[in-house]
Amino acid sequence: MLGVRIKNIHYSHQKIFMARRKRSSFLEDLIDIAAMLPWWVAVLLAIISYLILHNIATAPEVTPTHLVPGQMGAFVAGELKRALALYGQYIFPFAFSIGALLSFIRKRKDEETTFSSYSKQNTIERSQSPACPNCGSHMVKRKAKKGANVGGIFWGCSSFPKCYGKRDY
Ligand SMILES: [Zn+2]
């Protein structure tokens, strides 16, 4: 009974989430997509989309001299394309630029967390580790991958594989 209720709650949350996704504008979708790309790809897209759309928007107008039905259709389609490009030349680069910025910020955040946790761990290991009996470098905790002592922890030289210094842990 409770399981069913939880499932229903979960389902309705999903529906709300999906509805919200659906309501988001075309511009937001574009920004979302661009933010998922590497920031430099998004920058590149911003530049390329501007160049292409600006080119279309400023292309010389071809006015049909004779109003042949087939030509009229092409003329209207051309005008429509031009009108879309007129707005698109600002909308696309704008969305891609925002996306690039978001992507860049996210990447930097990821790098910061990775780096800080790595250096913190590194500091702890260094302060507690003995010196290598062979070369004097600091030693790092390692797990034996083969030999009689498989899975056993020992101190290995940080200069491995240049130095094979070992100590009991
Ligand atoms: Zn060593």
Q: Is 54 exposed, middle or buried (0-12, 13-18, 19+ CB in 10 A)?
A: middle
pLDDT at 79: 85
> If pLDDT is split at 50, 70 and 90, which confidence band does 12 have?
very low
Percent of the chain at pLDDT above 90? 38
* Omega cis (within 30) before 161: yes
| Listed residue (47, 130, 49) closest to 85, CA to CA | 49
Q: How far is the CA of 167 from the centre of ligand 1 (A)?
A: 10
DSSP state of 131: B
DSSP state of 140: E
Average pLDDT over residues 3-7: 49
Determine contact, residues 92/30, Cβ cutoff 8 Å.
Answer: yes
Intra-chain end-to-end CA distance of the chain, in Å: 54
The tens digit of pLDDT for each residue in 40-69 reads 999 999 999 999 999 988 887 766 666 666
pTM assigned to the model: 0.50
pLDDT at 77: 85
The tens digit of pLDDT for each residue in 139-153 reads 998 888 888 888 888
Q: How far is the CA of 125 from the centre of ligand 1 (A)?
A: 16
CA distance 60 to 79: 11
Q: How far is the CA of 164 from the centre of ligand 1 (A)?
A: 6
Q: How far is the CA of 139 from the centre of ligand 1 (A)?
A: 8
Q: Tokens 């761990």 map to which residue?
A: 121
> If pLDDT is split at 50, 70 and 90, which confidence band does 96 have?
very high
